[in-house]
Amino acid sequence: MSFFALSEYTRESGIAKLRAHIDFDIVMAKKTTRKSKTQFAFLSQNVGKIVLALIATGSFAIAFGNEKISKLKPTASNHDACLQQFYRDVPPLLTKESLKKDSYALCFTDFNVMYSGISKTPLWSAEYLTPERLSVKIKREDSFHEETRVQLAHRALLSDYRGSGYDRGHMAPNGDMNNTAAQHDSFSLANMVPQSPKNNQEVWRKLEEAVRSIVTKQHKDAYVVTGPIFEDKRLKTIGNGVIVPTAVYKAVYLPKQGIIGAYYAPNNDSLQVKVVSVCYLEEKLGINLFPQLTEQQKRNIYQLPTSAQQVKANKDISYVKWDAQSQCAEEATTESIQAQQQQFASGQSQPIESKLPQVDEETKQALIKQLIEALVQYFLQLLR
């Protein structure tokens, strides 16, 4: 074959190959276009389902997560508000082991209670009083009620007090409450002890008024812990086992001034009351009333007023003495403080010996796997 003929053949062959490539590209372009149109049509036809699936998926995830996790995690409702009632956010600590049995950490509106299912009374009620809080006054409306967060076997009942000859004596006073929710809570029987009528209506009423006057007249914040004292070997009961205290106490601390002291009043008709140190109470109670204070601070006694009339706006509360005789409560450990804080942070309504469930890593992974599988199946069902 001549050079010319070979060249002509090569030219024609190249053109043929070029045409073949062009034809192939055209075919592929048509296929791609048809595929794109098909995909677009699918999306157009199913856009409603896809949007619905995405919305449902998000809703399902939230619902699934809330339902599963809420069963494993304790509620931390009003955590900060609860701990604010304590000096430096630390609750009084039960140092006597026998007091811990069947006890309940109860958070209320504007006060907290450590309740005993043995005595069926509070062991202490704690509150933080400020001039702002006490500047609002509301009309008293009695609403005595049983505390349903406490197991029935441990609960004080309204019938326990009927015909007993004792008043239902507030520990956190109704007069300290500035809103209807707090006032209603203060009438829970978990905040009550059987109190001698004269003690409740005369001595105790005057002491409550005196503490409020310190806060309002002298513009001082106060941390207050109030409760019963059970001293006699043989204690009287009313109703179905509600124990009558031999005395009642109220410990007061004014942090800005360092003023501290406590009231001790026999639970009888004697109308007696004496001002003592916090350590004096702790020795009788088996409770560390202010764990964040030093022993030296708790041994101080200031002359707390026993009536509102004794409180003068421009007259400081005078120092009396240092109590060297009483045995203060043992110093609190970091672990015991954290455990007590957690009881209130978790909204505890079971005896404190009970253990709350923990979410371990294996359980977390299992929950995540269940969630993913459920979402995939739910998504596919919507697209069918």
* Whether 202 and 113 share a structural domain: yes
The pLDDT, as a whole number, for residue 11 is 46
Say if residues 290 and 92 touch (Cβ distance below 8 Å): yes
Let me know whether 211 and 139 are in one domain.
yes
The CATH number that applies at residue 148 is 3.40.570.10
Domain assignment present for 233: yes
The average pLDDT across 77-91 equals 86
Helix, strand, or coil (residue 10): helix
Report the residue count for the chain.
384
User: Tens digit of pLDDT for each residue in 40-69?
Assistant: 554 455 555 554 455 444 544 444 444 333
- Same-domain check for residues 241 and 103: yes
Q: Say whether both 113 and 63 belong to one domain.
A: no
What residues are annotated to the active site?
A: 170
Q: Are residues 212 and 231 in the same domain?
A: yes
Label residue 380 exposed, middle or buried (CB < 10 Å: 0-12, 13-18, 19+). exposed
Residues 150, 23, single domain; the answer is no
64 CB-contact burial (10 Å; exposed 0-12 / middle 13-18 / buried 19+): middle
pLDDT tens, position by position, 182-239: 999 999 999 999 999 999 999 999 999 999 999 999 999 999 999 999 998 899 999 9
Q: Which two tokens stand for residue 324?
A: 């060297």
Considering the domain architecture, whether residues 124 and 58 belong to the same structural domain is answered as no
Instruction: Judge if 326 and 373 occupy the same domain.
Output: no
Q: Which residues are annotated as a binding site?
A: 200
> How many other CB atoms sit within 10 Å of the CB of residue 228?
26
Model confidence pLDDT, tens digit, residues 99-121: 999 999 999 999 999 999 999 99
Annotated binding residues for Mg(2+), as ranges?
Answer: 200
Do the domain assignments include residue 354?
no
86 lies in the same domain as 22: no
Per the DSSP assignment, residues forming a β-bridge with 103 are 116
Residue range(s) defining the domain that contains residue 85: 79-345
DSSP label at residue 263:
E
